[in-house]
Amino acid sequence: MRDPNATGNSGRNPLDRGGFSDDFRSYTVLASSADAPDSFQVITGERGDDVVLVVSGLTSGNLKATWGRFWSGLKPQSKIWVEEQAFRTFYSGHRIIATAPVSARFCDG
Contact 30, 4 (CB under 8 A): yes
pLDDT-derived band at 109 (thresholds 50, 70, 90) equals low
Is 106 among the domain residues?
no
pLDDT of residue 39: 97
Report helix, strand or coil for 85: helix
Is 11 among the domain residues?
no
pTM: 0.76
pLDDT tens profile 72-89: 999 999 999 999 999 999
Q: Residue 73: which domain range?
A: 16-91
Question: Which residue type does 82 have?
Answer: V
pLDDT tens profile 30-80: 999 998 899 999 999 999 999 999 999 999 999 999 999 999 999 999 999
- For the chain, the domain total comes to 1
Report which of 62, 40, 37 is spatially closest to residue 53, judged by C-alpha positions.
Answer: 40
Report helix, strand or coil for 72: helix
Integer Cα distance of 51 and 70 in angstroms: 9
